[in-house]
């Protein structure tokens, strides 16, 4: 019995002594294990073709050649800097104190009315070439009251610019330089734009202040379409059907092109919403289809010809709807018609209710006017009218406003 006990004790001691010699399993211990031989398919003897330095360089270059780079390369050569010298008339009293002393300032204002001072002020803008012989589109507010216009091309050449004409309603202008063989921009179709596509703003925000005359590029997307925006200028007015983009449009970019991923101009950069003077992701551009029509009118006729329809309309108020027993107040009612006008020739009558213009439903006179925005002389306009409870369509051809009316 004692012998059996001694044997068991010896076995137990040997077991624990053996465990103590092995020690704990550690990360280092795992690392010292003999590595297994890997297949040649996993670790090849030679560097594969796709990992060569030349191919890697080509792959990096290909990744850099994106839509923005290509579009900038296509449109950039046609973008110009427009430097304008304007004369501004300001009125101030020569006796006002620089310290801002309210008592004396008010005294001089009461007894010495302010005098008019003329100051020559330089302003900067952008534009883009639309013909090889030097016609350039820009904003009207860039060249407003311009006494001197200088146009600088991306290659550094500078020309005197001639203002052909401008239109404040559209905020567009056409200037001309005496040159030939110029790189004209590719003009796209703004009616085909979709929200979310690339929008690339190109311009010269610093103009002649930089030694390098090449334009600057900012990128974003088309944020919204057909925005009607109230002008922040003292003259008021409304910008209609504007393109909204988050591409940075900085001061000096006005008049430059907004292009798509193909390098086609889809808009004319016009203004931003800002309180600091910088871009806050709310830029607006005039659709290129509007700019093309305005530029064509200016180049061919020297100005934008006014269109004539020959009718006046009134919103359908609750009072009018009640008196005329109009069930649906949406639309406008014709209240006056000019003899021999396009509307008269098309068969429109006083009392007709216009429900649609160019296929778009209109609820009031503002919407009806908006539906005709950008239409020009010679364009056909379709009106859906309601007369005595029946709906019909009439087509009229827009004419130029008669010289004597």
Active-site choice (141, 165, 246, 371): 141
**Per-residue pLDDT at 63:** 64
221 vs 18 pLDDT, higher one: 221
Taking only the tens place, the pLDDT of each residue in 156-167 is 999 999 999 999
The rounded mean pLDDT for the chain is 81
Taking only the tens place, the pLDDT of each residue in 104-118 is 566 556 666 677 777
Query: Over 50: is that where the pLDDT of 214 sits?
Result: yes
Taking only the tens place, the pLDDT of each residue in 246-257 is 998 887 899 999
Taking only the tens place, the pLDDT of each residue in 371-399 is 888 888 999 999 999 998 899 999 999 99
**pLDDT-derived band of residue 152, with 50, 70 and 90 as boundaries?**
very high
**Mean pLDDT to the nearest integer, 85-91:** 78
Active site residue 141: yes
**Per-residue pLDDT at 369:** 85
**Per-residue pLDDT at 15:** 45
**Per-residue pLDDT at 236:** 53
**Per-residue pLDDT at 121:** 84
**Per-residue pLDDT at 367:** 86
**Per-residue pLDDT at 27:** 35
Active site residue 144: no
- Between CA 281 and CA 270 the distance in angstroms is 14
Domains of the chain (ranges; CATH) run 77-176 (2.40.10.10), 190-301 (2.40.10.10), 307-400 (2.30.42.10)
Active-site choice (83, 254, 279, 341): 254
Least confident of 36-45, 58-67, 83-92, 260-269: 36-45
Taking only the tens place, the pLDDT of each residue in 45-86 is 554 555 566 666 665 566 677 889 999 999 999 999 999 998
143 vs 56 pLDDT, higher one: 143
**Per-residue pLDDT at 88:** 75
**Mean pLDDT to the nearest integer, 274-278:** 53
**Mean pLDDT to the nearest integer, 5-27:** 45
**Mean pLDDT to the nearest integer, 138-154:** 94
Query: Over 50: is that where the pLDDT of 24 sits?
Result: no
**Per-residue pLDDT at 84:** 94
Q: What is the pTM of this model?
A: 0.73
**Mean pLDDT to the nearest integer, 3-22:** 47
Query: Over 70: is that where the pLDDT of 323 sits?
Result: yes
**pLDDT-derived band of residue 29, with 50, 70 and 90 as boundaries?**
very low
């Amino acid at each position: 019995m004692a012998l059996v006990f001694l044997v068991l004790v010896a076995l137990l001691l040997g077991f624990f002594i053996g465990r103590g010699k092995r020690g704990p399993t550690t990360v280092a211990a795992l690392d010292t294990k003999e590595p297994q031989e890997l297949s040649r398919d996993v670790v090849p003897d030679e560097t594969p073709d796709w990992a060569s330095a030349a191919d890697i360089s080509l792959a990096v270059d290909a990744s850099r050649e994106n839509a923005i780079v290509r579009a900038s390369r296509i449109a950039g050569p046609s973008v110009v800097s427009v430097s304008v010298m304007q004369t501004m008339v300001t009125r101030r009293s020569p006796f006002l104190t620089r310290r801002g002393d309210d008592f004396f300032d008010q005294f001089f204002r009461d007894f010495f009315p302010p005098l008019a001072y003329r100051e020559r002020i330089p302003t900067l803008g952008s534009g883009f070439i639309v013909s090889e012989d030097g016609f350039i589109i820009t904003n009207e507010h860039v060249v407003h009251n311009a006494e001197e216009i200088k146009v600088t091309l991306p290659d550094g050449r500078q020309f005197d610019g001639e203002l052909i004409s401008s239109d404040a309603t559209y905020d567009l202008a056409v200037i001309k330089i005496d040159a030939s063989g110029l790189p004209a921009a590719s003009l796209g179709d703004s009616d085909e734009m979709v929200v979310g596509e690339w929008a690339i703003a190109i311009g010269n925000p610093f103009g002649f202040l930089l030694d390098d005359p090449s334009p600057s590029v900012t990128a974003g997307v088309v944020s919204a379409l057909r925005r009607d925006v109230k002008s922040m200028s003292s003259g008021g007015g409304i910008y209609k059907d504007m393109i909204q983009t988050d591409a940075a449009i900085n001061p000096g970019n006005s008049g430059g092109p907004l292009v798509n991923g193909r390098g086609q101009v889809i808009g004319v950069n016009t203004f931003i919403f800002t309180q600091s003077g910088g871009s806050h992701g709310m830029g607006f551009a005039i659709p290129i289809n509007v700019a093309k029509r305005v530029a064509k009118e200016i180049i061919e006729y020297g100005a934008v010809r006014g269109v004539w329809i020959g009718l006046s309309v009134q919103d359908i108020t609750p009072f009018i709807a009640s008196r005329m027993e109009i069930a649906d107040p949406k639309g406008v009612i014709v209240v006056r018609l000019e003899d021999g006008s396009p509307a008269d020739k098309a068969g429109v009558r006083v009392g007709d209710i216009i429900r649609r213009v160019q296929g778009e439903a209109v609820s009031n006179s503002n919407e009806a006017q908006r539906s005709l925005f950008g239409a020009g002389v010679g364009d056909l306009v379709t009106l859906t009218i309601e007369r005595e409870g029946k709906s019909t369509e009439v087509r009229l051809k827009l004419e130029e406003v008669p010289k004597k009316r």
